Amino acid sequence: MKAFQITVLAILGVIIILLSGLLILGLTGVIDADLFNYAGKTELIFDKTFDGSEMTDIDIDMKSADVKIFKSSDQSIRVVYYGPDSEIEKPTVSADYVDGVLVIEQKTRLQFFRLFDSDRMEIYLPEDYLGPLVLGLSSGNLNFAEAFEFAQMKIHLTSGDIKATTLKTDNFEYAMSSGNFNSEGIISDTFSIKLTSGNFKTDELVGTGTIKASSGNISIKNFTGSGNVKLTSGDFYLGLNALNGDMDIDLTSGNANMDLLGETDGIYCDFRVTSGNIKTNFGDVDEDTVGSDFVYSFSESNDYKLSIKAVSGNIKVEK
């Protein structure tokens, strides 16, 4: 009997800890506080339109919603927000346009026991807008429904997926804690991509910058530029069109696969693995396998260094 009481108390203790944790996370905005609202229903909360002919900046900070961004057919700005019916009288989301700056913010709300609601926002930007975009989203998916060009892009997501067509910008900054990124292309002068957990996939990446990922796979079908990649756990694929500087790729645990798609004159290769094999179809190799290290120059100039290092995993590079 005593053992049964101890077991019951232990289970109750675990339940209390879990509920307390959810309460704290909801209060701090780490998770959507409406998480368990089973009977909730999404309604149109507001539909606002502004004259964006002189818009100079965009600042978006959302806690929990799916965000989809379109282009307007003219110079107008339109922001449409759908949320729980409890927000019809007092929305947690605000959209304001002052002195050429569009500011969209969402406050943390405390309506527990919500599970099936899906708050969503549609944003229509002026067709000729080429200024910066700063966007933060704690929980939700982000969709760039059309090709966009911005002076600068800074996107920070805690949890969610991103889907995009082609994004063109001078500087692309992207950070995500958990989620996947999928785009048709990123064309930029410089880029900074940081992932804690999730996959990153794009058909094209142009620019010079860094990619850092703790856990997940990275796939870039066509790359032109230079920079460095650090991947702790996951596989890496790169289709290399051209280098305009050195390229350093470091993997702790995972495989690196690369196709040399373009001109290779001037590229100096330095591939090394601690535990694994290197395979290539160029250079003086025997049955495509070259062991744990491989050094090769496509020409005498050695303009750019292509370095791939893997602690545990295989390297495969083909021309």
pLDDT tens digit at each of 319 positions of the chain? 566 566 656 676 667 776 666 554 444 444 444 444 434 478 999 999 999 999 999 999 999 899 999 999 999 999 999 999 889 999 999 999 999 999 999 987 554 444 445 789 999 999 999 999 999 999 999 999 999 999 999 999 999 999 999 999 999 999 999 999 999 999 999 999 999 999 999 999 999 999 999 999 999 999 999 999 999 999 999 999 999 999 999 999 999 999 999 999 999 999 999 999 999 988 766 666 677 889 999 988 889 999 999 999 999 999 9
Task: Give the pLDDT confidence score for residue 19 in this predicted structure.
Answer: 62
Query: How far is 218 from 229, CA to CA, in rounded Å?
Result: 10
Task: List phi, psi (to 5°) of 133.
Answer: -135, 125
Question: Residue 104 falls within a domain, yes or no?
Answer: yes
Kindly compute the dihedral angle of the four CA atoms of residues 280, 281, 286, 288, in this order, to the nearest 10 degrees.
50
Query: How far is 31 from 41, CA to CA, in rounded Å?
Result: 19
Question: Residue 97 falls within a domain, yes or no?
Answer: yes
Question: Residue 103 falls within a domain, yes or no?
Answer: yes
Beta-carbon contacts of residue 159 (< 8 Å; ≥ 6 apart): 138, 139, 140, 177, 178, 179
Question: Residue 130 falls within a domain, yes or no?
Answer: yes
Question: Residue 108 falls within a domain, yes or no?
Answer: yes
Sign (positive or negative) of CA dihedral 7, 8, 11, 12: negative
| Structural domains counted in the chain | 1
Question: Residue 106 falls within a domain, yes or no?
Answer: yes
Question: Which residues constitute the domain of residue 42?
Answer: 31-146
Task: Give the pLDDT confidence score for residue 20 in this predicted structure.
Answer: 64
Closest CA to 178 of 198, 163, 192: 198
Question: Residue 165 falls within a domain, yes or no?
Answer: no
Q: Which residue has the tokens 């395979």?
A: 279
Question: Residue 100 falls within a domain, yes or no?
Answer: yes
Query: How far is 240 from 260, CA to CA, in rounded Å?
Result: 5
